[in-house]
């Protein structure tokens, strides 16, 4: 089972040997932080908030009624979902691999589980992950209440707000600590939605240089969703797991996270057998003869 100890040993063991942060990790954190910060700014700058405490609902900086605020919420929500459908169709589940904040939390937890797996620092690692979960819960909270509820609200309002904020933090922390990347593999409702919507896309993991493959198996061991990256382009099917039905293709399930490619890069000195990106145009006709493939 790749998710868990085997995945940690493979992916982070190889990364330790490499001695530097992989470019996919930089990209993932840059995109993830920019996306989460952008979402967090919406309620904080008054672009959109449905304030269940004060009733001062906001849309584009103006105070509006509840119905208007719900409509204002619904249309961007619809637009975002259409954008996701289009994105999933064309670029696959890059959202899962490079944008999703829950996925980022799972990876943060994994990284600490590997780096600080012994001694007292283990508790510091838990504390850091907990704070990250609390920050994400705070972003969600900002959409539904003004933070002044904690200073000016009635005892009942403060209690409800505290339970909402604390409960969201605990659910996130419990999910990250209890399931980690298993959440992405088995239970993420958004992941099911993306996989169902995007059965094909213009991107994939390609076995671009099979002649360089050492058959080390690092790619399979590092895949968080139990796929066989070397066979991804062949569009096999993985058995159903958790909330994911059985009839989804491997191609649709791939998170486009690049972990297999990173592991492969660290396992092979020459051209990397695997590559992640837009499918290359078939070059069979001129490249059939031996030695032509790059």
Tell me the closest approach of the beta carbon of residue 249 to ligand SF4, in angstroms.
Answer: 12
- Interatomic CA distance for residues 193 and 158, integer angstroms: 35
Q: Is 229 in the site for ligand SF4 (CB under 6 A)?
A: yes
Name which position in 7, 57, 182, 256 contacts ligand SF4 (CB under 6 A).
256
Q: Is 260 in the site for ligand SF4 (CB under 6 A)?
A: yes
Q: Return the range that interacts with ligand SF4 (CB under 6 A); candidates 118-126, 135-143, 211-219, 236-244.
A: 211-219
- Give the nearer residue to ligand SF4 in terms of CB position, either 32 or 153: 32
Judge contact between 268 and 212, C-beta under 8 A: yes
- Give the nearer residue to ligand SF4 in terms of CB position, either 105 or 205: 205
Task: Report the run of H or E that residue 225 belongs to, with start and end.
Answer: none
Tell me the closest approach of the beta carbon of residue 256 to ligand SF4, in angstroms.
Answer: 5
Residues with Cβ < 8 Å from 174, sequence gap 6 or more? none
Q: Is 76 in the site for ligand SF4 (CB under 6 A)?
A: no
- Interatomic CA distance for residues 108 and 114, integer angstroms: 10
User: If 0-12 CB within 10 Å is exposed, 13-18 middle and 19+ buried, where does residue 92 land?
Assistant: buried
Tell me the closest approach of the beta carbon of residue 54 to ligand SF4, in angstroms.
Answer: 43
Buried b (16+ CB within 10 A) or exposed e, 106-132: bbbbbbbbbebeeeeeeeebbeebbeb
- Interatomic CA distance for residues 153 and 53, integer angstroms: 8
Tell me the closest approach of the beta carbon of residue 211 to ligand SF4, in angstroms.
Answer: 10
Q: Is 263 in the site for ligand SF4 (CB under 6 A)?
A: yes
Q: Return the range that interacts with ligand SF4 (CB under 6 A); candidates 38-46, 163-171, 260-268, 281-289.
A: 260-268
Q: Is 188 in the site for ligand SF4 (CB under 6 A)?
A: no
* Tokens at 294, concatenated: 């790059």
Tell me the closest approach of the beta carbon of residue 61 to ligand SF4, in angstroms.
Answer: 40
Name which position in 225, 244, 252, 275 contacts ligand SF4 (CB under 6 A).
225
- Interatomic CA distance for residues 204 and 278, integer angstroms: 6
Tell me the closest approach of the beta carbon of residue 252 to ligand SF4, in angstroms.
Answer: 11
* Cα dist from 28 to 31, 75, 107, 220, whole Å: 5, 28, 10, 21
Name which position in 157, 213, 233, 248 contacts ligand SF4 (CB under 6 A).
213
Name which position in 182, 230, 238, 275 contacts ligand SF4 (CB under 6 A).
230
Q: Is 267 in the site for ligand SF4 (CB under 6 A)?
A: yes
SS3 246: coil
Residues with Cβ < 8 Å from 239, sequence gap 6 or more? 246
What residues line the site for ligand SF4 (CB under 6 A)?
A: 205, 213-219, 222-225, 227, 229-230, 232, 254-260, 263-264, 267-268, 273-274, 276
């Amino acid at each position: 089972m790749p998710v868990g100890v085997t995945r940690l040993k493979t992916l982070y063991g190889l990364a330790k040997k490499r001695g530097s942060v992989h470019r996919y990790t930089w990209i993932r954190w840059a995109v993830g932080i920019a996306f989460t910060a952008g979402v967090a700014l919406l309620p904080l700058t008054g672009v959109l908030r449905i304030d269940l405490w004060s009733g001062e609902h906001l849309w584009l900086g103006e105070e509006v009624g509840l119905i208007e605020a719900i409509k204002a919420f619904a249309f961007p929500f619809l637009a975002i979902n259409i954008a996701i459908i289009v994105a999933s169709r064309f670029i696959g589940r890059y959202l899962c691999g490079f944008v999703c904040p829950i996925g980022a939390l799972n990876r943060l937890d994994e990284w600490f589980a590997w780096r600080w797996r012994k001694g007292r620092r283990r508790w510091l690692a838990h504390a850091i992950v907990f704070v990250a979960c609390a920050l994400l819960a705070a972003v969600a909270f900002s959409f539904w209440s003004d933070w002044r509820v904690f200073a000016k609200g009635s005892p009942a309002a403060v209690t409800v707000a505290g339970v909402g904020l604390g409960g969201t933090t605990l659910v996130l922390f419990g999910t990250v600590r209890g399931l980690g990347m298993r959440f992405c593999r088995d239970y993420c409702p958004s992941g099911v939605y993306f996989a169902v919507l995007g059965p094909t896309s213009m991107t994939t993991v390609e076995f671009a240089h099979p002649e360089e493959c050492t058959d080390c198996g690092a790619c399979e061991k590092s895949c968080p969703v139990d796929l066989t990256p070397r066979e991804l382009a062949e569009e096999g099917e993985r058995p159903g797991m958790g909330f994911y039905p059985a009839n989804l293709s491997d191609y649709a399930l791939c998170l486009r996270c690049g972990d297999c490619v990173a592991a492969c890069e660290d396992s092979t000195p020459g051209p990397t057998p695997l590559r992640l990106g837009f499918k290359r145009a078939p070059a069979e006709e001129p490249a059939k003869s031996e030695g032509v493939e790059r």
